[in-house]
Amino acid sequence: MTKLNKVVGSLRNEYSRLEKEMGRVGKALDALGHAGGKTLKRTGRTLSKEARKRIADAQRLRWAKVRKQAAKLVKS
């Protein structure tokens, strides 16, 4: 049993060390991400008003279909 206790203790020590190291890595990444006072900007696609409307209408139809199926299950 003492060998098992040593192994568990060793694993806990390693876990603690790794947590500290991950904290350091996180701080380094934060510092590099904000280098020069700029944040990394994510560019996205711009959809037209008509495209957003088509997507919204399609989603409404999908939800209506789901609700219809749920109503059938409740009535059964």
**Residue 35: is its pLDDT beyond 70?**
no
Residue 74 belongs to some domain of the structure: yes
Do 6 and 13 contact (CB within 8 A), yes or no?
Answer: no
What's this model's pTM, rounded to 2 decimal places? 0.40
Q: Is residue 42 part of a domain?
A: no
Percent of the chain predicted with pLDDT > 90: 55
Closest CA to 45 of 30, 32, 35, 55: 55
Residue 11 inside a domain? The answer is: yes
Residues spanned by the domain of 60:
48-76
**How many domains in the chain?**
2
Which helix (DSSP H) or strand (DSSP E) does residue 34 occupy? none
Q: What is the pLDDT of residue 34?
A: 67
* Domain assignment present for 13: yes
Give the pLDDT confidence of 39-76 residue by residue, as tens digits.
556 778 899 999 999 999 999 999 999 999 998 888 76
* Residue with the two structure tokens 């380094």: 28
Q: What is the pLDDT of residue 38?
A: 59
In a domain, 56, yes or no: yes
